[in-house]
């Protein structure tokens, strides 16, 4: 019996912080249609995860990101209810003046109260991990 695997199981998510707020999109399709989520998506064939992160951010938010720092790899088989995906999450900097929704994002905004709203997938954990990374860097004087 042959096993069935997704053709592109690798995804990226990107965290852009603005003080206590984070850039979030509203998903334009299932799963989690109309839920807030981190910008991101599938890594294309012959594309690095860093290239995919930059492409997805530009497509979904209009933002050109730089200074990418990996937050972590998220591989819980239940993180996506439709298929098993593995996400590489990045923390990035961007000029928020170019923020505008595009691609499969129906809306994009800088959200301050992200801890108290439902987020798609495991994105609340990813954002919390990003804050931990930022705080550890500040504590080390970086």
What was the pLDDT predicted at 123? 97
pLDDT in tens, the chain (142 residues): 455 554 668 999 999 999 999 999 998 888 888 899 999 999 999 999 999 999 999 999 999 999 999 999 999 988 887 778 899 999 999 999 999 988 777 899 999 999 999 999 999 999 999 999 999 876 666 5
What was the pLDDT predicted at 121? 94
CATH superfamily of 10-139: Nucleoside Triphosphate Pyrophosphohydrolase (3.90.79.10)
What was the pLDDT predicted at 34? 87
Q: Of 124, 129, 125, 103, whose CA–CA distance to 36 is shortest? A: 124
Q: Report the distance separating Cα 18 and Cα 99, nearest Å.
A: 12
């Amino acid at each position: 019996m042959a096993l069935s695997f997704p053709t592109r199981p690798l995804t990226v998510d990107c965290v852009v912080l603005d003080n206590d707020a984070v850039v979030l999109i509203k998903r334009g399709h299932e799963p989690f249609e109309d839920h807030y989520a981190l910008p991101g998506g599938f890594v294309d064939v012959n594309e690095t995860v860093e290239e995919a992160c930059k492409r997805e951010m530009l497509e979904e938010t209009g933002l050109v990101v730089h200074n990418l720092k990996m937050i972590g790899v998220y591989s819980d088989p239940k993180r996506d209810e439709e298929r098993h995906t593995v996400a590489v999450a990045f923390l990035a900097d961007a000029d928020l003046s170019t923020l505008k929704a595009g691609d499969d994002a129906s809306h994009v905004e800088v959200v301050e109260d992200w801890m108290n709203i439902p987020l798609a997938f495991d994105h609340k954990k990813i954002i919390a991990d990003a804050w931990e990374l930022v705080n550890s860097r500040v504590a080390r004087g970086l």
